[in-house]
Amino acid sequence: DADVTQTPRNRITKTGKRIMLECSQTKGHDRMYWYRQDPGLGLRLIYYSFDVKDINKGEISDGYSVSRQAQAKFSLSLESAIPNQTALYFCATTDSSSYNEQFFGPGTRLTVL
Amino acid sequence: AQSVAQPEDQVNVAEGNPLTVKCTYSVSGNPYLFWYVQYPNRGLQFLLKYITGDNLVKGSYGFEAEFNKSQTSFHLKKPSALVSDSALYFCAVRDYGTGNTGKLIFGQGTTLQVKP
C-alpha cells in the first residue's frame, strides 16, 4: 500500500463545494484508476488513465473530473459536491504487463454534508 | 454483459474450521480472475489471481481459490480460518468489454467473520 498514497485520508465538506482528492504512486505504472466504494455495491470505476494524455470515463463519471499531472499523479475532483457522493474513494495502479493485477491506495473517506 | 457475483453478503465460520467465500462470473473471453481483501480502514490487498494453468491457485496468508470453468466459479478457500482473517473480500474479473484496458469488474463483497 505504501507504493500508492492518497491524500487526504478523511475529508468532510459541504454541499456545493469543490474538492480534490490526490493520488501518487511510486510503482512506475502507466495505468491509474479511481473507484468509489459504497456498502453492498462493491467498487465502481469513475475514471481511468493510460498516460497523461489518455483519460477515459468509467461507469459513474458524472459529477467527477480528473487530471493526470504526471505518470505518477492522478487527481479526482468533485466540481460541486453533493451528499450522495459520500463514499470511500480508492486510487489504483497497474501496468500493461501485469495481467491486470491492480495495486490500491489506502482510500479517502469523503463525507458531503 | 460481463459480471461478477458474490452470493453471500456475510460468511460466518468458527476459528480452525475451513472457510469458503463464493464467487461466480460471466465474461466474453478467457477469464482473468482475482481475489482481494480489505481490512478495516485499509485499501484492498491482492490475495491471488487465476490467469491460466492449474485450476487450484495458491495465494497470500494461506488462501487458495479453485477455478471451475464449467460452473463459472472461482471460490476462495482456506483450510483453517483465523480470527485475523475477518475482513471484507472482493472477487474481480478482467473487463473484456473495451479491449486491454486493465479494467476490473468487482463483486459486491463478502464480509467474513471468524469467531473464536
pLDDT tens across A15-74, in order?
999 999 999 999 999 999 999 999 888 899 999 998 889 999 998 999 999 999 999 999
**pLDDT tens digits for B95-116?**
766 666 778 899 999 999 999 9
Q: DSSP secondary-structure letter at B83?
A: G
> B98: exposed, middle or buried (C-beta count within 10 Å: 0-12, 13-18, 19+)?
exposed
pLDDT at site B97:
62
Residues from chain B that touch A31, judged by Cβ atoms under 8 A, are 102
Distance from CA of B73 to the nearest CA of A (A): 18
The predicted structure's pLDDT at residue A96: 74
Average pLDDT over residues A77-90: 96
Contacts 24+ apart (CB under 8 A), A41-48: A41/B108, A42/B90, A42/B106, A42/B107, A42/B108, A42/B109, A43/A90, A43/B44, A43/B90, A43/B106, A44/B106, A45/B103, A46/A76, A46/A89, A47/A76, A48/B101, A48/B102, A48/B103
Where does the pLDDT of residue A81 fall: very low under 50, low under 70, confident under 90, or very high at 90 and above? very high
E-assigned strands of A18-86? 19-25, 31-38, 42-51, 54-57, 64-70, 73-78
Rounded mean pLDDT, B39-65:
91
Q: Tell me whether A31 touches chain B (CB under 8 Å).
A: yes
**DSSP conformational letter for B101:** -
Say whether pLDDT at A1 is over 60. Answer: no
Residue among B30, B27, B34 at smallest CA distance from B74: B34
| Confidence (pLDDT) at B103 | 83
- Res. B29 pLDDT band, cuts 50 70 90: confident
- Report, as an integer, the average pLDDT of B10-31: 93
Higher pLDDT, B5 or B41: B5
Asked whether residue A80 carries a pLDDT value surpassing 80, the answer given is: yes
**Residue B24 reports pLDDT greater than 90:** yes
pLDDT higher at B104 or A77: A77
What proportion of chain B, given as a percentage, has pLDDT over 70? 96
Residue A98 confidence (pLDDT)? 60
Chain B residues with CB inside 8 Å of A29's CB? none
The number of angstroms, rounded, from the C-alpha of A108 to the middle of its chain's C-alpha atoms is 9
Give the pLDDT confidence score for residue B31 in this predicted structure: 87
More confident residue, B95 or B82: B82
Determine contact, residues A111/A14, Cβ cutoff 8 Å. Answer: no
Alpha-carbon gap: B108 to the closest alpha carbon of chain A (Å): 4
Judge: B103–A33 Cβ closer than 8 Å, yes or no.
yes
